[in-house]
Amino acid sequence: MAYSSRTRDVERYYDSLYLWSQITNRFRAFSSVEEYMIHRPLRDAETGEYSDRVVHRLIQRAVADAGPIEALDAGCGYGGTCLDLHGALGGRWLGVTINRRQYQIARRNAEAMGVGDRVSFAHTSYDSPLPCRFNLVFGIESLIHSATPAATIANLAGSLLQGGRFIVVDDMPVEPIPPQYTDALAGFKRMWHCPVMPAAGQWAQHLEAAGCAVEDIRDLSGLMSPRSEAEVVAELAVIARRRRWRDLVGLRMVADAQIGGLLLERLTREGASQYAMIVARKR
């Protein structure tokens, strides 16, 4: 698969995060067979549970009337969402990722769990032509990396069957962004390799232009637990002290990712960004 320099940059970003996970877990991270999810944990409003599976339950509710599921996870990471939701909903699931290591781990786990014929993965971009049609297309914290969000949505919507649902779950700045947070937003976008980062209204416009009627836009920020400003400042100081040696050993992107995450917590806590879920239906 031919990659653009932009795509290779995002792939290297995820490779750096993988390497850091190996170091911090003493080379055992991702070594076992299980459902690996790297979503934002949320608090379940009904049970009080704080978990990265809460977003899956929200998706389940949104597609409760969908019938047999034929789903595409656009930017599937290590495949945890496809594996978890297949267990809950059945059907057939395809996850695509631009990162070869994520693809290999996801495929290994699906085969080891005995669901490789129903949950499959492809090492490709969500901007590439897709192999079949789906009644559910979704992206969780992945479409934010698109350099051309309108084109990305149009490509994905082109594989969606009439009446099928398109779900976007991601971080989205408010409109207009308060001036005092423009620097923090720019820093986050740079460090997390998110060149555009549309607001919820912009995602909705792209979906409408691609033939999808927006049914719901839900702000999930209230289900999150961002740290206080004092905690963010303290953690930024720790990262700054450790940054020099990390940069020397090739872990610059790890420090960037950590700083970007802290900036995002600040933006979310202050209401300058929201973690939102958009549900649309193909006309």
Per-residue 3-state assignment (H helix, E strand, C coil) for the chain: CCCCHHHHHHHHHHHHHHHHHHHHCCCCCCCCCCCCCCCCCEECCCCCCEECCHHHHHHHHHCCCCCCCEEEEECCCCCHHHHHHHHHHCCEEEEEECCHHHHHHHHHHHHHCCCCCCEEEEECCCCCCCCCCEEEEEEECCHHHCCCHHHHHHHHHCCEEEEEEEEEEEEEECCCCCHHHHHHHHHHHHHCCCCCCCCHHHHHHHHHHCCEEEEEEEECHHHCCCCCHHHHHHHHHHHHHHHHHHHHCCCHHHHHHHHHHHHHHHHHHCCCEEEEEEEEEEC
Of residues 16 and 76, more confidence is placed in 76
The mean per-residue pLDDT over the stretch 90-97 comes to 98
Q: Which tens digit of pLDDT belongs to each residue from 230-240?
A: 999 999 999 99
Q: Which tens digit of pLDDT belongs to each residue from 182-216?
A: 999 999 999 999 999 999 999 999 999 999 999 99
Q: Which tens digit of pLDDT belongs to each residue from 126-140?
A: 999 998 999 999 999
**pLDDT-wise least confident of 5-9, 51-55, 91-95, 129-133:** 5-9
Q: Which tens digit of pLDDT belongs to each residue from 80-90?
A: 999 999 999 99
Q: How far is CA 262 from the centre of its chain?
A: 17
Q: Is the model's pLDDT at 31 over the cut of 80?
A: no
Q: pLDDT at position 27, please?
A: 61
Q: pLDDT at position 3, please?
A: 56
Q: Which tens digit of pLDDT belongs to each residue from 141-196?
A: 999 999 999 999 999 999 999 999 999 999 999 999 999 999 999 999 999 999 99
Q: pLDDT at position 242, please?
A: 86
Domains of the chain, start order: 5-177+194-226+273-282 (3.40.50.150)
Specify the pTM.
Answer: 0.94
Please, are residues 82 and 108 in contact by the beta-carbon 8 Å criterion?
no
Q: Which tens digit of pLDDT belongs to each residue from 34-49?
A: 778 888 999 998 899 9
Report CA-CA distances (Å) from 154 to 50, 116, 195, 208, 211: 34, 28, 18, 10, 8
Q: pLDDT at position 126, please?
A: 97
What is the residue type of 226? P
CA-based nearest residue to 31, from 112, 125, 92: 112
The mean per-residue pLDDT over the stretch 61-90 comes to 96
The mean per-residue pLDDT over the stretch 238-259 comes to 85
Q: pLDDT-based confidence at 26, cuts 50/70/90? A: low
